[in-house]
Amino acid sequence: MRRLYSLIIAAAACVAAMAITPQEKIAARLQHSASNHCIYPEDNLPQLSPAPAGYEAFYIDHYGRHGSRWLSRASAYQRPVDVLRKAHHDGVLTEQGERLLTTLQNVLAASTNRAGELSDKGAEQHQHIAERMFKNFPTVFAGDAVIDARSTVVIRCILSMQNATTTLRSLNPNLRITTDASYHDMYYMGYGHGEDTLANKVSARTKLISDSLYAAHVQPERFIKQIYTHPDHLDLSAAQRLMRDIFDIAGSLQGHHAFDNLDLFHLFTGDEIFEMWRLKNIEWYLYRANSQASDNRMPFAARALALDMVEKADAAIAAGKRGADLRFGHESVVLPLACLLEIDNINLSTSDLDNLHNEWQSYDIIPKACNIQMVFYRNAAGDILVKALYNEHEAQLPVETDMAPYYHWNDLKAYYKKKLATPIDWDK
């Protein structure tokens, strides 16, 4: 009966997913076009299936991205302002262009000394995720459960951890929580200190592909004409850069309460918005997912993290631990990790970039605060099951099971351990 129930849920989800195209999804809410700048999708989260009879959740193995933030680099706000200020000085802005300059100057001023920092909504996202985690799995957070929280050394991640753990503490003051953010853990927690550094050579090559796609497909003529009285003030490359910069800011505004009533998407047509998203979708796929352009190597950038998750889960099982290992980091880590763990279809391998958007959508995969929760259950006999949540949706894992969405840990672990031992030649 439960199996049937799960199948019906899964089938309904498939139908729902199939029923809406990326074009429709973005048209319905333009903010979906922002790829990795999308706010965390926490409305209409699905009901989770109940624990199998006789099993109780006792441990969560987690990795999550920081919440919404300011754009990473101050130049992302500064550069388009500089371009439009010059145009203003040269007297070539339309009335709409002048208004845009004023708006962008206001955003720039608000962003001063904030580049890359967690936003107010970003803090709330982690409060909400932690609260739902607690309420979804009360047995994990019961009594004096042990919560070991780690963050990369990047401040927006540390503050995300802060918001999550403070929330958990308020729900159960007896939790034993430790927190850390250390270079000591960076070889598996983040990027720039482990096997991922070897992958940088590969992503430098795939970046040439996405750069060439932007150059070939971004059509800025109409966009520029509404801003410039003399569109030839900018050459094609500068016009593309300006259009992309303003599109990035437009998509990022959703991360701040202060900008809830500020819209920059009105400068773009629906087709332009879709095309800009489609290109960014390809860029992210090539950068950190399982693309054939990278010889399917990129997921292994998260190998040390996947190993850490397997080992900490095994240690928790062996120790009879109740609690969680919580890790706070980046989408550029969540993405290869989700590929490596073969969660849902995130690990898609294709060379057909023209059709990618129909198969793989960044807004569902790498929004702010995207996260993986591996939830462990045991029964009185000590049998261990695991269920994976991706952004709090029950997810499919790469081994057979007779009780989806629950998987037998020993099967899954054997699969992962074998896969994680795969040698990768990063030099070819």
Cβ proximity to its own copies: between 90 and 180 the closer is 180
Cβ proximity to its own copies: between 85 and 169 the closer is 169
Q: Work out whether 5 is an interface residue with its own copies (CB under 8 A).
A: no
Chain CA centroid to CA 89, Å: 40
- Measure Cα distances from 235 to 87, 96, 146, 230, 316 in Å: 13, 20, 58, 11, 59
Stretch that binds its own copies, among 157-165, 230-238, 316-324, 414-422 (CB under 8 A): 157-165
**Whether 361 contacts 10, CB under 8 Å:** no
Which residues sit opposite 385 in a β-bridge?
Answer: 377, 408
Q: Work out whether 358 is an interface residue with its own copies (CB under 8 A).
A: no
CA distance 84 to 92: 9
**Whether 406 contacts 377, CB under 8 Å:** yes
Cβ proximity to its own copies: between 94 and 166 the closer is 166
Closest approach of its own copies to the CB of residue 141, in Å: 13
Among residues 101, 145, 161, 386, the one that binds its own copies under rule CB under 8 A: 161
Q: Which of residues 107-126 bind its own copies (CB under 8 A)?
A: 112-114, 117-118, 123
- The identity of residue 137, as a single letter, is F
Cβ proximity to its own copies: between 48 and 155 the closer is 155
Q: Work out whether 27 is an interface residue with its own copies (CB under 8 A).
A: no
Size of the site for its own copies (CB under 8 A): 31
Closest approach of its own copies to the CB of residue 376, in Å: 24
Among residues 34, 83, 101, 159, the one that binds its own copies under rule CB under 8 A: 159
Closest approach of its own copies to the CB of residue 117, in Å: 5
**Whether 251 contacts 31, CB under 8 Å:** yes
Stretch that binds its own copies, among 150-158, 197-205, 309-317, 346-354 (CB under 8 A): 150-158
Q: Work out whether 132 is an interface residue with its own copies (CB under 8 A).
A: no
CA distance 343 to 372: 9
Q: Work out whether 222 is an interface residue with its own copies (CB under 8 A).
A: no
DSSP 118-181: B-HHHHHHHHHHHHHHHHH-TTTT-TT-EEEEEE-SSHHHHHHHHHHHHHHHHH-TT-EEEEEE
Q: Work out whether 226 is an interface residue with its own copies (CB under 8 A).
A: no
Stretch that binds its own copies, among 25-33, 181-189, 206-214, 347-355 (CB under 8 A): 181-189
Q: Work out whether 143 is an interface residue with its own copies (CB under 8 A).
A: no
Among residues 2, 184, 201, 222, the one that binds its own copies under rule CB under 8 A: 184
Chain CA centroid to CA 120, Å: 18
Q: Which of 282, 295, 297, 292 is nearest to 199 (CA)?
A: 297
Q: Work out whether 166 is an interface residue with its own copies (CB under 8 A).
A: yes
**Whether 148 contacts 168, CB under 8 Å:** no
The CA-CA-CA angle for residues 169, 118, 29, to 5°, reads 105
CA distance 335 to 371: 10
Stretch that binds its own copies, among 12-20, 97-105, 156-164, 318-326 (CB under 8 A): 156-164
**Contact set with its own copies (CB under 8 A):** 112-114, 117-118, 123, 153, 155, 158-159, 161-163, 165-167, 169-171, 173-175, 177-184, 186
